Structure 1
Amino acid sequence: MRIDPKAAFLSMTTEQRYFATALLNMAHRHSLDSFRIRALNPQNGMRELLRMMQPPANGEDLAMVGSEVAYLLASDPILRLPPFDAPASELLALLEPKGNGKDKALEKNKHLIQSFAKETQQMLGAGYVGACLSWLDRKLAIPTAGSPPPTKAALNEIKVVTGNLLSVLLDNGASLESLFQYYWQIIAKPSPGKPYVFADRFSLLVKLINNPTKKFSVVFSVDNLGDPSVFPTSIGGVVFSAAPPTLVSPAPPATRYATSFPNRIFADIEVETSDERTAGTKAYALLNGILDLVRFEYERNRLHLADEFLCTDKATLGKYRIFPIPKVVPNPSAAVGVAELQEFALTVGELVDGPSIASDGRDRIQSAFRLYRVGADTNIFENKLTNWWTATEYLVKGVSTSGSIGKAVEDTLVPVLCLGYVKKLLFSFRNVLVDMKASVSDPVTGMPVLLKQLDGASVFSLFRNSAVHTQLLSAVNSEPFVHAHLEDFLASLSSEKTILGILKSHEQRLRWHIQRIYRARCDIVHSAERVVAAALLCANLEFYLKSTLTALLQALKGSPHITGPKEFFDRQVHAYGRVLEGLENNDPSRLLAIL
């Protein structure tokens, strides 16, 4: 979980600060997946649901997507308002039939589900973003004197609406970098020489989101051409020229970019969209498609497309600014130095080349690392996703499962990821307490607790001690978003049954995500379609792959007799089952053992 220390000095109400920190966590490139923007929202949820009505989707696919769409319909307060409420409530009732035989009921009512989904989709497309902004404007207004403090439920609704709004904007073509700038450059940035007024900043945010689309000129440099002088001047609406664009009052980075070289050509693409970063994303995709054709038959050299681009509003042509390609795959980052890298490489080499690892298992592990690198090195999200999925699929191949490839990957990954979930949250909250300089004393000895030095089991023990809850929550009072989430997490640790509940909820979300990633992979491979919210799907998949590889290497190091991935995954399935069984019987010892 992330906080912004400089925002602590900005004057905000509880609701406004909660919204600001929610926006920060949802759009930050290094946010934990638990607090990031959801890939599915009411708008693309309707589209996904309607796709499940058509082959090759089957009843199982409809039930999977329908359950997540039902969750969205039930949790979003905007969908309880007119005009969305009427079709949304009917659709929710159809997706959550009473009694047993849910799959049969869904199949029987497919024509009604399709009808209400289309009606809801049309209404969402026409007015959902505006409804979200109007709702937030009301909820974030300064309360009248004597008003009670906001309830936890009211704050949670702000989080839900903010998350769905950002997800819809991403679905409409915005980049994650653009969404983060809404926080960094607008909500958290006072006007120079003026007092900070949240209402003014939010009004500016609404104005930017509602801005009509504009035409942009996007310029990329392409290097390593054999002979730029004979290259076509126009292909598919992209204008090519060996001469750089004419710049008006350029900054030095733009001047350096717009410099001619013997084997360089400049590609100028006109894009109509909302902002420069989104324009760059669209132009980058279009230009890559054209360069695919160029490389196929015309140009034998390996072309190099720059990671940055120049962009200008067509109305102010010539005033170019330089931007990086929106290529963020949002995930927490780990600081690794030279010594740690050398130790890691040595450890991997010793483990993978060890005598106990079967040759098939060695190939799978090495292929996973190779395909991870290939995916990491490309700027095209669809290429990242296909490489990382292939790495994951090949790693789990050979594990005894039934059903589709997607189901096999799902059933194999879920235990691995669930076993690390509680530990991930424990350290996330421990770290934010450290960042906020929380002062916690042992309730028995009165000695200070050194939070930063606590391991997972110690943090678990501390958080389950109700005698320190007041200290922990008091330390984060200034951040209502952190306070609400920490309070919920502490409550979820209160008993083995509640811990079991958060694991089961996480398992369901994982299954939704993995199946969605698999469908996206199939869309790319079988239909050559571009993927909506590809950055978020890549973020999930990268995290799953890296977490699985890390857990596999740790297992090989701790148990040298393990012969490869198959044995590892079998043991993980067994271990997760034992953890769930223990929690069912009020025994947390097996969970403690993996913290």
Structure 2
Amino acid sequence: MRVDLKFNSASYSEKQRFFLECWYNMVHQYSVDSYRLKTMNPVNSARELYSVWSMSHASKEDKFLVFKEAVEVISASKDVFDAQELRLLHHLKSFSSKIKKDNVEFDNSSLVVPIASSLYKQLEGNFITQCQEYLTKTLVENGDEPTEEGELQSMKSLISNFLSALLDRGSSIESLFNFYKGILAKDQGAPDYPFEKRLGLLFRILNSDIQEFKVAFALYGINSSTERVFPDQIGILPLKQGDYFSLFPPRPV
């Protein structure tokens, strides 16, 4: 487990401290937990369940293992689900006793695919927002209330699934770590920048629309002897002089 040695916990409640410690450890590049984030969460578990059970060539054992893991992973975050998602999860769980390692066929086995597909579509559109609403209520609205038994463990599981879903949506471990350093833990204790403002800013950034940018790289060490052999392109990156990019530094007249 990775610990932020510069973290000043004095200005945070127990739940807020736990949230920050989990976030730091789970997105640290040298933490084992950062590798776990890249595996399963409720969204991609439902997607994998739908995908594998749709394959005609998938083995009985594969279907059994995927179903078992998907139900377990999805159920771990049921506290944030809405009524429709809970109903779909309940239907899946009702099949658990009928799905065996050597036999996955039963009376209603054909319903697994449409139920998993519907649950995936629901979670893909809702899960990240539901996690944010849960964390806002737990850490801000009820942040100073005493911690109930098992609450921190449930929160840890949800934080892990939340971060994993963000990675699955396109975020990177590096960007999530920078959110911690640049927003959640920056200028700790500043009276005009309390925790609820930091959390609100973080969620606004995560929910903002994707934008495209032009990126320019400055290259140094190019001289007259290497200029002739320098390529016009490296991989998918074109190298050229222009309004946005200059390959060679200006020369004195």
- TM-score scaled to structure 1, two decimals? 0.37
Q: What does residue range 28-107 of structure 1 map to in structure 2 within 5 Å?
A: 28-33=28-33, 36-37=36-37, 39-53=39-53, 54-78=55-79, 80-94=81-95, 96-97=96-97, 102-103=100-101, 106-107=104-105
For 1:323, the equivalent position in structure 2 comes to none
Q: What does residue range 374-453 of structure 1 map to in structure 2 within 5 Å?
A: none
- How far is the alpha carbon of 1:51 from its aligned partner? 2.1
Residues 160, 33 of structure 1: CA spacing in aligned structure 2 closer, same or farther, 3 A cutoff?
closer
- How far is the alpha carbon of 1:221 from its aligned partner? 7.9
Q: Secondary structure at the match of 1:218?
A: coil
Letter of the aligned partner of 2:69 in structure 1? Answer: E
Letter of the aligned partner of 2:104 in structure 1? Answer: L
- How far is the alpha carbon of 1:239 from its aligned partner? 7.3
For 2:128, the equivalent position in structure 1 comes to 129
Letter of the aligned partner of 1:2 in structure 2? Answer: R
Q: Secondary structure at the match of 1:140?
A: helix
- How far is the alpha carbon of 1:87 from its aligned partner? 1.0
Is the 1:27–1:36 Cα contact (8 Å) retained in structure 2?
Answer: no
For 1:138, the equivalent position in structure 2 comes to 137
Q: What does residue range 138-537 of structure 1 map to in structure 2 within 5 Å?
A: 138-143=137-142, 147=145, 149-190=146-187, 194-219=191-216, 240-243=238-241, 246=244, 259-260=247-248
Is the 2:46–2:120 Cα contact (8 Å) retained in structure 1?
Answer: yes
Aligned-partner Cα distance in 2 for 1:144–1:205 = 17
Deviations 1:528-582 (A, max 9, x none): xxxxxxxxxxxxxxxxxxxxxxxxxxxxxxxxxxxxxxxxxxxxxxxxxxxxxxx
Residues 152, 4 of structure 1: CA spacing in aligned structure 2 closer, same or farther, 3 A cutoff?
farther
Aligned-partner Cα distance in 2 for 1:115–1:225 = 60
Aligned-partner Cα distance in 1 for 2:186–2:86 = 36
Aligned-partner Cα distance in 1 for 2:180–2:34 = 19
For 1:24, the equivalent position in structure 2 comes to 24
How many residue pairs get aligned? The number is 241
Letter of the aligned partner of 2:117 in structure 1? Answer: K
Aligned-partner Cα distance in 2 for 1:198–1:164 = 22
Q: Secondary structure at the match of 1:2?
A: coil
Aligned-partner Cα distance in 2 for 1:199–1:105 = 51
Residues 169, 80 of structure 1: CA spacing in aligned structure 2 closer, same or farther, 3 A cutoff?
closer
Aligned-partner Cα distance in 2 for 1:52–1:126 = 21
Letter of the aligned partner of 1:8 in structure 2? Answer: N
Letter of the aligned partner of 1:136 in structure 2? Answer: L
Residues 195, 228 of structure 1: CA spacing in aligned structure 2 closer, same or farther, 3 A cutoff?
same
- How far is the alpha carbon of 1:152 from its aligned partner? 3.7
**Which consecutive residues of structure 2, in runs of 5 or more, have no partner in the other structure?**
none
Aligned-partner Cα distance in 2 for 1:151–1:86 = 26
Residues 158, 84 of structure 1: CA spacing in aligned structure 2 closer, same or farther, 3 A cutoff?
same
Aligned-partner Cα distance in 2 for 1:135–1:142 = 10
Residues 58, 260 of structure 1: CA spacing in aligned structure 2 closer, same or farther, 3 A cutoff?
farther
Is the 1:77–1:157 Cα contact (8 Å) retained in structure 2?
Answer: no
- How far is the alpha carbon of 1:245 from its aligned partner? 5.5
Identity of aligned residues (%): 27
For 1:116, the equivalent position in structure 2 comes to 115
Residues 44, 6 of structure 1: CA spacing in aligned structure 2 closer, same or farther, 3 A cutoff?
same
Aligned-partner Cα distance in 1 for 2:242–2:113 = 51
Which of the two has greater strand per residue? 1
**Which consecutive residues of structure 1, in runs of 5 or more, have no partner in the other structure?**
248-257, 262-595
Letter of the aligned partner of 2:16 in structure 1? Answer: Q
Aligned-partner Cα distance in 2 for 1:10–1:189 = 14
Is the 1:186–1:201 Cα contact (8 Å) retained in structure 2?
Answer: yes
Deviations 1:330-353 (A, max 9, x none): xxxxxxxxxxxxxxxxxxxxxxxx
- How far is the alpha carbon of 1:60 from its aligned partner? 1.0
Letter of the aligned partner of 1:29 in structure 2? Answer: Q
Residues 128, 10 of structure 1: CA spacing in aligned structure 2 closer, same or farther, 3 A cutoff?
same
Which of the two has greater helix per residue? 1
Aligned-partner Cα distance in 1 for 2:197–2:191 = 11
Q: Secondary structure at the match of 1:171?
A: helix
- TM-score scaled to structure 2, two decimals? 0.81
Q: Secondary structure at the match of 2:178?
A: helix
The higher relative CO (CA closer than 8 Å, separation ≥ 6) is in: 2
